[in-house]
Structure 1
Amino acid sequence: MDLKELTPKLENHLSLRWDSPVSIQEIHHLSGGACQDNFSIKMKLDENGMSSERNIVLRTDKGASLLSSLSKRDEFKVAELAFRAGVKTPEPILLEENDSILGSPFYLMEKISGRATGRYIVKDSELNNYRKNGMVSDLAKNLALLHTVSQESVNDSLLKEKLKITTTSSYALQCIKDLEKTLDELPEPHPAIEMSLNWLAKNKPEVDAIVLVHGDFRTGNFMITKDGLQGILDYEFAHWGDRHEDIAWLCMRDWRFGKLNKEVGGFGDRPDFYKAYEDVSKIKVDFKKVTYWEIMGNIRWAIGSAQQAERHLSGKDKGIELAAIGRRTAEMEWEAMRLIEEMENAV
């Protein structure tokens, strides 16, 4: 997206939306991964004869999003739910569903400080004190707050439809069927994934409650400074599900960025995170359920990685990042089967 073209379009559109003159003083592209585009914007807003500066982030889709990701409208609405629940997350500011402005829908949110890169969070000496005193408990607390959002608390009918109302009895099997369907759409066979899905179907646990799940709660999706957690980001994979999903996803081997002995995101220990979560949620974390959803998470990420590779190989969205992600599929397959073996040997 050409920033020179983007600036006047945004200035004109936001001036109309806010009924006040808007001038963009600075704009630059932020990293947003394979599916998202994020732009940092410093703007001047003239309102009622008074001038004020605002620092915001514009978030929109880049190319084709993954099939399981939310639309920008639904992602914005989920961010609003999280913000109202007290989760430390950037405040959602404005939603634009008209794709004629920039070529795709977008939304604006508060710009927060910090860095989200895995290397910084798990290895940078600047965070040594916070890693020892606060990072685990802060993230556990905010995850527990997110999980206070229930299906009954959502009034937006379109969001309800997208998030798929589900029940505790059918949820795990629904996840397995969805993954089987996606796997069948891939052009090549993945016997390790099929074997793992069969095991998941035979060993599905009871779900204690259906809650709002972040869906990608991991190192890389929260902003940190030496002063602490600044905000949780990226709700594009949010859905109704089992609270243990989010806990398991954070603990997955792939999100430890080389710090394999620190099973919580590469920076913490499971018992500490579980206790901090329990202190806020008043819900006991079930270790076996975490492992089950960790296996499910690895299978989901294995299929997602294969999907990304297929986008590149098919020519639909050429990109070295997509191709590189595809090479991770085998790693997730191996990890899922390793965890299954551990579960079987522990019985």
Structure 2
Amino acid sequence: MEGLLEAVMHRAGGVDTAANPVTGLQRLSGGANMESWLFACGQDRFVLRRAPSAEWIAARPLNMAGEAELIRRAHAAGVAAPEVIAELAPADDLGIGFIMRCLPGTADPETALSSPPELASDLAKAMARIHALNTRGLDFLPRLDPAEGVEGLARQFAEAGGDRPLIALGLAWLRRNLPPPAEPVVVHGDFRIGNLMVHEERLSGVLDWELAHLGDGHEDLAYGCMAVWRFGRLDRQGFGLTDIETLAHAYQAAGGEAFNPARFRFWLVYRTVWWALGCLSMGQSWRSGTDRSLERVVVARRCAEQELDLLRLLESEAPETERARPLPPAMPESPASTGEPTAAEILTAVSEWLAATVKDKLAGRERWELAVAQNALGIVRRELSARASPADKALAEDLLAGRQSLATPGLLATLRARALSTLSADMPKYPALAAARTLWENR
């Protein structure tokens, strides 16, 4: 692979790769969709960003040529975006993608979330600059209309089985609360902690433009404020760094439009439903053979995170009597086995063996993939023990049709109990789970 990269670097930038060979090639961990490979060429570092397959990229609204072009325009307009060095051609035999100059810093969430308040101001300025990009000549970007987007989510929900009541609850809310179309601007689409490079406690780069489109700038503001992208900073709703009011003020001061709370809330609910369905689609990609990686089936179980977040977002609209209703009695636990080992115990034994004999032999992405495998074993072990099924197609259909709602006696309590059971099995370390359990179980 190094030789192929050297040929691209020579073709694109005239690099003398005999004197400056490609070294240190390594695949970076993380990234639920695209592959990222870090390498050095001489004294400089670069990143190869490429699609996992031609079939996968063909299903995306924005192809990689369009992504590269938008990054170039953003970089030229002063957005902290990477510099695109070269786009891959079929003859390069490296797949579909492009090469960027590596930015200083790290995208590690802990680094960003431990930074001073000035970082939140940097993010607000970056969003304002992205939303101010000239849209002329960007016809290759998809356009997201709120009403069309919601119906697209409804179709995706039906294709995924249409049997998750909490997603149906979110879809029904979105249909009732459609905002008027906004003046379209460039929306990054994945602007969040984890996709933002931080160097010396300030923003150094905006990564992962694959979801960019034309739409409402409030979508970017809301997306980064989702609980899942705050990585445990539940008390700081503004990207895990500050409060919403301070973030909105900084955005407006940087040239962004006036903050609209109703539009912000719509997109917060919309993107939570969107990511819940996005997680489910990972499992469908694995089943279809488009991507048979272990990561796909594990990420699919993260749908439970978004279902719990949806309920926390929407439960305030239930009548007070329903919000105060206690959870239904829990099912009694099965007695512990004293005979042959159960399936759950066998899975525990496998996980312990992997940690004791394999973990120290791995590094980089392989070590990260081992952690994914152990997570997968844990999901199955907990499902065997206590997970209630989150599927209920009849209830989902009732919620979509308006025959039931959060005003239905006992429904909110039932949904809370199901969300706690599902997430406790699927992703028990999700920070919002502990907060929800404390709030809901002490009634």
After superposition, the Cα gap between the structure-2 partners of 1:56 and 1:209, relative to the gap in structure 1 and judged at 3 Å, is same
Aligned with 1:79 (options 71, 74, 77): 71
Aligned to 1:50: none
2:313: which partner in 1? Answer: 339
Quote the residue 1:49 is aligned against. Answer: none
1:164 to 142, 150, 155: 142
The one-letter code matched in structure 2 to 1:8 is G
Q: Is the 8 A contact 1:172 1:204 kept in 2?
A: yes
- Select the residue among 118, 133, 142 that pairs with 1:149: 133
| Residue aligning to 1:3 | none
| Preserved contact between residue 85 and residue 148 of structure 1 (Cα < 8 Å) | no
Is residue 14 from structure 1 mapped to residue 6 from structure 2 by the alignment?
no
The residue aligned with 2:219 is 245
Structure 1 gaps, min length 5 = 1-5, 45-52
Counterpart check, 1:209 vs 2:183: yes
**Mapping 1:56-205, distance limit 5 Å:** 56-63=46-53, 64=56, 67-68=59-60, 70-96=62-88, 98-122=89-113, 127=114, 130-132=115-117, 134-151=118-135, 153=136, 155=137, 160-161=139-140, 163-165=141-143, 171-187=145-161, 189-205=163-179
SS in 2 for 1:291: helix
Render the CA deviation track for 1:248-294: whole Å, top value 9, x for unaligned. 00100111111111112222211111100000125211122111100
Letter of the 1:16 counterpart = R
Alpha-carbon distance in 2 for matches of 1:84, 1:104: 26
Displacement after TM superposition at 1:20 (Å):
4.9
- Measured in 2, the distance between the counterparts of 1:251 and 1:215 equals 13
Residue number among 34, 37, 40 corresponding to 1:39 in the alignment: 37
Deviations 1:179-233 (A, max 9, x none): 1222222246223323322221221112332111011111100011334111110
RMSD of aligned Cα (Å) = 2.3
- Structure 2 CA distance for aligned equivalents of residues 234 and 116 of structure 1: 11
Alpha-carbon distance in 2 for matches of 1:66, 1:245: 25
Change (3 A) 1:243 1:345: farther
Q: Provide closer, same or farther for how the CA distance between residues 234 and 120 of structure 1 changes in structure 2, counting only shifts above 3 A.
A: same
Cα gap change, 1:301 to 1:65, in 2 (>3 Å) = farther
CA deviation string 1:7-51 (max 9, x = no partner):
11122233234445323233222224232111222113xxxxxxx
In the alignment of these two chains, the number of paired residues is 315
Measure the CA separation in 2 of the matches of 1:335 and 1:120: 24
Q: Which amino acid aligns with 1:142?
A: A
Instruction: Quote the Cα distance in structure 2 between the aligned partners of 1:294 and 1:345.
Output: 22
Distance between the aligned counterparts of 2:101 and 2:15, measured in 1?
19
2: CA distance between counterparts of 1:285 and 1:200? 19
Q: 1:236 aligns with which of 191, 201, 210?
A: 210
1:307 Cα deviation (Å)?
A: 0.5
What CA deviation, in whole Å up to 9, does each residue of 1:113-148 have, x standing for no partner?
2111223322xxxx4xx423x111000001000000
Check whether the contact 1:72–1:106 (CA below 8 A) recurs between aligned residues.
yes
Q: Give the deviation of 1:312 after TM superposition.
A: 2.9
Identity %: 29
State how far apart, in whole Å, the 2-side matches of 1:116 and 1:8 are.
Answer: 28
Determine the C-alpha separation between the residues in 2 that align with 1:77 and 1:175. 24
Over 3 Å counting, the alpha-carbon distance change for 1:288 and 1:344 in structure 2 is farther
Q: Confirm or deny: 8 A CA contact 2:196 2:206 kept in the other structure.
A: yes
Match of 1:312 among 286, 289, 304: 286
